[in-house]
Structure 1
């Protein structure tokens, strides 16, 4: 029989060597580290000296006890301790390292094993003489316990207070579900996630391979957040893990048969065949097929504990420890407990799991009172040292002090120098090396910051809630979720429903289940306010309805916002968006009333910073001193800055004025009357404003460079401002504005992103790129959104409305209207441009005129004397009547202004009363230095050569489209493409880069994609370089765009013509530059 089964004379695997136990790769790696340390020890200077002196044999082996003692000392001096403040290693650490060395030696040398008496002797040597000689530490890690109280704090932080943004919200669901797996069962880390000891094996909780633990649905009188089936069922349904059931209703409708207490739901084939993990790694695009590692989950758990206020975070083992402690108090036998914990030694539970504080009530036992067992759990809860207001970041003062330290400054300087070298590097190998150096320096700087933060946390005072009063302000990271919750509807609902005491099958339970599934499945790339959320994947504005997926991801929120503002504006002169209640408000009077209502209800924001979340503007920047200055108009007090730079500049300039107005005083109070704090210096108060009100770091009297659109700035080298073509054609004695050449008919067209229905923001919204193309206007203001390779040319402003505010979220069609600030009642003239809209409110006209009259005299002279080519001023500062349309309309026979609105009239403005400068819009003052003389604007508009449409609804505009309709522009054909951008050739021969969503003809796009052979027409090659692998890359400049957007393109993306023209020679070290 043995011979029949294959027994033969092959003895290659039979020898006299001892067979060691199989070990994991992770364990083998730990052994190898100590074996390398042994080799380093053998060639150390001390060993060579002892060999020369004859004190030890030349053959250094671990079989000599003296050599082993020397090695133990060498090992102890090579370890940097973590628990000891002086960096000394602990006795247990040295013992563990020596044990790894002995095991590694015995595996590698099975015929020359280290004797057992030698290892026992070295253990005693480490615990005794070596400990005294080296001063080894006896510190141990504090045992923490995930008690019910600590677990509840973590769940509340995760769902009700957490402003942390994960890569995908699925991780939030996974963390909560994994916590339940570890506190309701004795599962070890490696059973749920891929443990570090099994790195690379992919072992963990999978649909095909699952451990057996009991979890059930019915939990009477318990909140939903503790229900494990709720979360596991959401994960299964989101993954489509059931074979026959795909919806919540289908699963909950399943009942066991009458003769059976259960019914098995079978897994779907794809989760079994693919051996998918229950808790996979997740990217921004969704879950992958790779299981999450235990290291990653432990890091997430640590950060969650810190955000929950636990200075000592709870480990996964802390949850298992508490679970076994609770199990021992319920009367289970030792055998059941050992099986439950998967222990093989009865001493393991007592030695490693049970707390030193037992549940035995000695006091009640002695006094013969009813026994209590809850105090022991309170002591275990205290092991995390929870401080509800634990610092999540360094206070402003500590940050300032750290950044001025010599070591921090030196590292920062090195990082800046390396960044410059990276930009100048020409080879991929050099870039890789420099980036590696920069990463190391960044890690060193983070270490300094973390050390400082830990020190601050250690000395942080714990304040009882009853003692906080008005002097207490929570960390800005703790208030983040309350500021963002309206942008995340599912999380907003879950923060309430999960903490309801209800069964899973109740209305609250089903709602929570569906919201959890939505978090698992929905992408988390763009957030929207409730009124701006797309409907069925399309823009919610009725006149638009564009497929939102076709819009570039960085511009989706901006697209919907602009459409909504244009739609709500209607016949009003102004529409603005309230970021306090997330509501658009149309009309100046209504806006002032709306702001006053917030002030009367004490709904002023505590935090003043400009906040963006998932590519959306969530909070506008505000000024604390202006907000609480009661003599200012309500709209002025609640003015919101839409740019980080503009907001930072204003608050830095407004603060000294606030301090100066206080006069001589011993202390400086906070501008917020609800803040009962006062400081002796300006800097201390500014630190308070940073910590409590989210002010930016203070700048010392430096002139901030204004943020401008690089494609509009006339001083940019790559931008060519093209004159507008205007021709007045008389028809029946009237003046009509038409194109000098007319609009050529074309089958292909391109549209602009819907904006304001104003002719100044739509019909006149054309601007020139470097090729001289007249392209549609789209953006109302700069959202500071990182642009893609080719930012949309639709963000280019029109010179004919230089006063329009591209920073402001409001849309104001009457920014340039004479009726806005002219002392004469122009609105009485039915044909005047100032009253062209029939629905314009008389009350709005009066309010606008009143405000403008006060501001006109104080600002118009300065505006005329400055350069108007920079980004225009804010909407809420009322602009002045300079517009090509106004000048042309003054010549119309149907309606004229009272007095010619010409260049001469601008030089002699009507006498108006001056107003205090504090009543002027803050951004007006910021923009004064960047204005173009009105005469130049007027001359350019009147002498230009571009077609202008009349205001819809006014005479001779019956053939014009509605202002809410999207303007289309004729396109000849598409020349080039890069990502989601296309190089468009217009019918007039000019070219520009346009985003894909602006191109209406899908056939035109598809044709280019099929025929495109690489970049050619829309780029210029700046230089070339060879990568480490010998491949060639081309630095391309996109024609008409800013040089800062130049990119490196691989050879496969280039056309053959450009490759042949610019390909470097094999010996060339430097890239070829453009001539």
Structure 2
């Protein structure tokens, strides 16, 4: 391994161990759809030797020299294989012999599935995390991590590290086995909308009409022919660098919002679509207090109830895409419909949130309408009945208060206490799903985490003091070391006083 020292020619090359490199290659093969991955780098070497032996007729001595095998038994037993490559029928009949007899047999061992799912969907992963084996191994990892952080003799630290490593390996093997079982029985979920063009074609109405009209036998003076000519002229003279929906196109080179009237060419191409969309939305919200744009039918809706009915109609008509995650085409958002109820062919609220987790990495519902995923909320480690069972009949969870905050400023998450639910059902929610009033009220009195934390231990590393924090209502596996500046001074004094008493 070369030393990690930069030179005039640039940074040093990076090398990987053979086993690690093989694992990367095998994972790439699995993502490409090969169920069992690649058996190892020796497979490629073995294939080269088999081809040289069968196609080129090299002698065994030359093949062994090429393979750099000192022992001939290794070459013959493990590399040449047991499949006979001699075309017996051709030799007997005096015909030209075939040299690729074993190719079909060897390629048949590479099982390929075009729609192979290479990671757990949200529903299956949620069920996996509740499995007793997964929970047991996770608790072991947390226990050994806590013991390692507390220190001890060198022998104890080595022993705890080895146990934790074994727990990680056992959990990884358990997840891999469950994933292989799921892959074995997974159904085909292919869909034409995975292709890029069908997902952005609605942004190019001229091209969409040309795809239909150019194949027809019509005269140029017919309505179809005139439409094709108009579309070709529009493509030739229009601004091809930015895509616009029909309701968001500039008029005579000017923003269509009357209160703006800015020349679109004065803006950078990356800002043109965004400018029209934001000003349109701002203008409509000022007049109607509500404005949503359906990207599926290029239509603004200015009434909340009408918007819900509009999206429900798409669902009832099965007029929703297989995927609706946002994509950008020519500096414009080309996703089908941003409303969560218009996401996919879902038949229940539970399936909707699992779908959003798979496609958008959305962990949970917004606070204003947080649907339960079961008849009773299920905690990971233990469960107590609700204080207010009547709230089960409602689709809305009411926030009682925010308990704590964690993470950097722009990506902070808040620990939420739900009204009528026990502390075990507290959840972490990103700030984008929390109303601004709740955040402002919490931040106005925030001087460090207090109500939602409990301190259990203290350590000092490199001059930084950290405390072992258990978050109220969250499982023990989420316990973490937090800096003193993120905690309230009252909570720190409380811990220090208790430590002195001990």
TM-score by length of 1: 0.25
Rg (Cα) greater in structure: 1
For normalisation by structure 2, the TM-score amounts to 0.46
Q: Which structure shows the higher helix fraction?
A: 2
